Chain A
Amino acid sequence: MEDYSKKVMDHFFNPRNVGEIEDADGIGEVGNPRCGDIMRMYIKVKENIITDIKFKTFGCGAAVATSSMVTEMVKGKNINEALEITNKQVAEALDGLPPVKMHCSNLAEAGIKAAIDDYYKKNGKGK
């Protein structure tokens, strides 16, 4: 099998921001149609800034690592910046993913978007 980068391994073995936020302002759950994995993101938003974020992931090493990495990337960012993050950026931040694992990073991007969507819905704001 193709190797994961050191960064992927680090985020897999020591994932950041694992868990749930009880009074989350937005929760996004996304599934990966290619292999059946699931990711759930919880965000806390204050004055348009993502002040806290947690995730839970049912998936492979790359799915866990990209979940972990994306939470680090968006924490403290404002919502518009967070929405701009792409799966490619997440993969690059991890020093790349094996080609067969690129699709796993879609979960991370989609998870953030879904959580922000949910936050908008709950707050009656349009996009």
Chain B
Amino acid sequence: MYMKELIYMDNSATTRISSEVLDSMMPYLTTGYGNPSSIYSIGRESRKAVENARELVAKALSCDTNEIYFTSGGSESDNWAIKGVAFANENKGKHIITTSIEHHAVLHTCKYLEKYGFEITYLPVKSNGIIDINDLKKAIRKDTILISIMYANNEIGSIQPIKEIGEIAKENNIYFHTDAVQAIGNIPINLKELNIDLLSLSAHKFHGPKGVGVLYIRKGVKISNMIHGGGQEKNMRAGTENVAGIVGLGKAIELATIDIEKKSKYLITLRERLIKGIMESIPDTILNGDPINRLPGNVNVCFKYIEGESILLLLDMKGICASSGSACTSGSLNPSHVLLAIGLPHEIAHGSLRLTLSEENTQEEIEYVLETLPPIIQNLRNMSPLINEK
């Protein structure tokens, strides 16, 4: 089959901005350049646009507009939530609980706090990438001030028992932050039903623009500012608003959460076909993550005896964009901490491939990948010293 277009299956890395989102932003990149803090009309227009976006976010998450704070993205939101709660509540205690599979924006923030005398418990995960809720219960101490556990994992797609975690946090009077960057727009999230105190999200993961995100802060949560300066965001986060970005985020979250059940179902159909096809046609393959409690669009497998970067280069030649947790692709030359945390040995983690789907992917693309992948894997295995020719 001849494919003239790119087959983009790295939607956990970022997504294509949708044309509707781009259209919504354009006025604020051109004529509507007013500063939302200014009193003349183009300033007031910008203010209105920002507040309108805030309403769209609050509606999508089922929370109050006063609980939505715009940031520069997922990493800032995570940093703010964790450092902000830590520094504002250190009189109560200096213990934080997180997991070993968090995004680096959480893990490295926790590591940073260790330098300031905070103690961090990194919960392990089971081989399916999900925490044992009893481990969480046991880890709670009198001086625990924050639990930060991601909604769904960016690499292996495993979804954590967020509702239960929220209940435990509430019972123990501990703040609960969740990095929901991968979950928003893929699975329905209703903040009214979940005891989440802080939630991070990022627009570019659901067809919005890069460089803009949200931190949801439940009313009453004690948190310090991270970015000091002007009085924007109710004196909580300084800096002239990224108006176009915020407008784009609002539009994107609106689009991403309409009909989310239908979208999830579609993605699950594609995902299951892809997983089944790969497992059937390629021997010595391991599926990483939980088979059921996983993001609708997440496929993550390890092919034994070969290395991930090589797979990516060969897929790229066929027009397929994917990613890998191999040491050779990491820049740090360490394999993915997530793959190690689910118990994979280094050489197996080496052969990992992640394909993450969005609703823009089609059945035909899945079939094309299923045709293209087996010969690539075979080709690399023929070159592998870990398999002896006979």
Contacts and interface: CB of A to CB of B under 8 A. Distances in A.
Interface of A: 1, 9, 12-13, 15, 18-20, 29, 34-40, 56-61, 63-64, 100, 103-104
A60 B384 contact: no
B383 A36 contact: no
A58 B385 contact: yes
A18 B382 contact: yes
Given A13-B317, A34-B333, A36-B346, A57 B383 contact: yes
B3 interface: no
| SS of B interface (majority) | loop
Interface string B323-350: 0001111010101000000000011001
Interface in B298-342: 305-307, 309-310, 313-314, 317, 326-329, 331, 333, 335
25 contacts: A1-B329, A12-B310, A13-B314, A13-B317, A18-B383, A19-B389, A29-B385, A35-B327, A36-B350, A37-B307, A39-B385, A40-B385, A56-B383, A56-B384, A57-B383, A58-B306, A58-B307, A58-B347, A58-B350, A59-B328, A60-B307, A61-B309, A64-B310, A103-B333, A104-B328
B313 A12 contact: yes
Interface residues of B, number: 24
Interface of B: 305-307, 309-310, 313-314, 317, 326-329, 331, 333, 335, 346-347, 350, 382-386, 389
Nearest to B388: A20
A58 B386 contact: yes
A56 B387 CA distance: 9
Most buried by B among A20, A35, A56, A103: A35
Contacts of A38: 385-386
A1 B313 CA distance: 12
A18 B382 CA distance: 9
Contact of A36 (B317, B327, B384, B389): B327
Given A34-B333, A61-B310, A100-B331, 4 more contacts: A57-B383, A58-B386, A59-B328, A104-B328
B385 A15 contact: no
A60 B383 contact: no
A1 to B, nearest CB: 8
Contacts of A35: 327-328, 333
Majority secondary structure, A binding face: mixed
**A-B residue pairs, 6 tightest by C-beta:** A60-B328, A56-B385, A40-B385, A35-B327, A60-B309, A35-B333
A39 B314 CA distance: 20
A1 B309 CA distance: 11
Contacts of A58: 305-307, 347, 350, 384-386
Contacts of B306: 58
A15 B10 CA distance: 27
A32 to B, nearest CB: 9
A63 B380 CA distance: 13
Contacts of B314: 13
B109 to A, nearest CB: 25
Nearest to B386: A58
Contacts of B384: 56-58
A58 B384 CA distance: 5
Contacts of A12: 310, 313
B385 to A, nearest CB: 4
Contacts of A15: 383
A29 B305 CA distance: 15
A20 B386 CA distance: 12
A58 B327 CA distance: 12
Given A34-B333, A58-B306, A64 B347 contact: no
B380 to A, nearest CB: 9
Nearest to B327: A35
Contacts of B313: 9, 12-13, 61
Contacts of A37: 307, 328, 350
A59 B386 contact: no
Contacts of A13: 313-314, 317
Which residue, B306, B313, B326, has most C-beta atoms of chain A within 10 A? Answer: B313
A31 B309 CA distance: 17
A61 B350 CA distance: 13
A123 to B, nearest CB: 23
Nearest to B387: A56
A40 B387 CA distance: 11
Contacts of B326: 60
Nearest to B335: A36
A57 B380 CA distance: 9
